[in-house]
Structure 1
């Protein structure tokens, strides 16, 4: 299907610490690519480089063949990149629907005055956004029963699903998920993996994710990239990575 995101020879250092050393990888369209490795291997640093929060000293990051290295973080969402973070960052006083809407704020074109007064174009845009969320996302992620409930008091697994919905509302081409099942029960992990796969199969969303749950990663992924000490040490199909001696030694361990 072609390459959506191409990372070529990226180097990132903080003082004398090399967080990323010559990292290269391709993320293919319409697939789930997972990045795994021990704590401190450079996974989140790589996510932060792609998101624009860190600027690498050298290397290239191309999204749909366009260089991203000189673009600020706020410029990357409009081109089709969305991200979740390890820790839940929802607004507990707002409803599920209101939290999801926040994921599309950068795509609204209403002026400051009309948005503040909520009239005219701002009112029409928000009504259209609510309809789109209802039609495209609420049922996709089975959030209908909690649509109008406040976030406060919702179970952790449901809050993580709302975060996924907020990341999807901007219709991203690349969905970056940072530990999407961390802290969940086994059944919640299975449900979340199912929702992620549904996004890929029904929306043709490309997913790049980090997680430590190898059962989920190996069952969900189409392609796995293994990093250690800031370097890519192996990549390939999940079954290949489970048998790779370097991956077993660095991260998976012997069964």
Structure 2
């Protein structure tokens, strides 16, 4: 086919180049069409896939919190086994080390802006030393009290979770105000009671908790213990609320460690309060 009167366009060189260019263009068109078909197939495959969940997008999930909480509690049990079964002769010093170390790391983890899995697990281990030593001390005096405390903790946890899921109990702003007032009051009482025990103002095993309510045979510690267990239970409600809001808001996955730390702290507190309440009840028999 004649390309025109210009000899340049009709020359052999141009015709060769044109054929080469036409072939290249045809090859390019074929490649583009093939790539387009491949892209369409990929898009269709992607559309058919289920939507990415929180785990795939690096967000906190309930499963993450459960797994990490179980891991923390497992480390607590490992720590508790050392004074309970491995180094029973060193149970008392290990309990003291665990109590002091756990208190310090608890504050560190509570005030860190970014959660540290290593520090959280270290806290769980130290608290395990404390809980294990304390449990064995009471178990030696009142056999079977450890099992009773564990069962009691599970019962309170289960009932609290059921009430939260049913929507019957919520951490409302008004309830939070009462909780903070009650918590501060209980903390002050505990400090005063501890001071009286340390400085010899009382020789009772549990300080003022061991004293009887006037006109009754009920130790004052029973009322205080039930009050403290109620505070710990409501603290679980606060934990559940925070976890639900974090998952709903799409919090980064790393904060599932913070949630696990909060639950571990509350569960240890709840267990200790139940253990002490049982000791007061059995000691008054």
Q: TM-score, normalised by structure 1?
A: 0.27
Greater RCO (Cα-Cα under 8 Å, separation 6 or more) = 1
Highest Rg: 1 or 2? 2
Higher helix share: 2
Higher strand share: 1
Q: TM-score, normalised by structure 2?
A: 0.25
